[in-house]
């Protein structure tokens, strides 16, 4: 079973997103990391495994507006890594400034989605993203 890595420092949002994946019946385990250092450590540990990262990591949902403000470091780490560069990264954040959107796409983000403020809408968006990125999207396996 492939993991979905969720990098999210808001515990309420993290639980809503995890719950949305659970109820969507997708064959994925959501792994939550609350800051960029923790997420990068998780990726480095995965990098040591012998199997392809695209086989064990299906998607990264990344809030770039983390408390320590270094969410883009996770994006940079993934896209500069030979082993992870094929894993889709969806920036999923409350922040929506033109410069941030452009920066994330230039760094290799596969999508930039603004989090809805209402819980029901947030869950609906997560389910739809999950169905596409985890359920329908085919990745090139190394």
> Where does the pLDDT of residue 52 fall: very low under 50, low under 70, confident under 90, or very high at 90 and above?
low
- What is the structure's pLDDT at 68? 73
Q: Where are the domains of the chain?
A: 2-136
Residue 11 has pLDDT above 80, yes or no: yes
H or E stretch at 125: helix 119-130
- pTM score of the predicted model: 0.87
Query: Between 3.30.230.10, 3.10.420.10, 3.40.50.2300, 3.40.50.150, what CATH number should domain 2-136 receive?
Result: 3.40.50.2300
- Give the span between the Cα atoms of 47 and 17, in whole angstroms: 25
């Amino acid at each position: 079973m492939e993991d979905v890595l969720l990098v999210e420092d808001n515990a309420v949002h993290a639980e809503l997103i995890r719950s949305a994946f659970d109820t969507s019946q997708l064959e994925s385990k959501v792994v939550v990391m609350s800051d960029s250092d923790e997420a990068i450590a998780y990726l480095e540990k995965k990098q040591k495994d012998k199997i392809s990262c695209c086989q064990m990591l299906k998607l990264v949902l990344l809030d770039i507006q983390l408390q320590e403000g270094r969410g883009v470091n996770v994006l940079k780490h993934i896209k500069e890594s030979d082993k992870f560069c094929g894993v889709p990264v969806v920036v999923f954040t409350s922040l929506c400034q033109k410069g941030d959107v452009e920066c994330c796409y230039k760094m290799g983000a596969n999508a930039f989605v603004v989090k809805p403020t209402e819980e029901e809408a947030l869950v609906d968006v997560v389910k739809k993203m999950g169905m596409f990125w985890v359920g329908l999207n085919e990745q090139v396996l190394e």
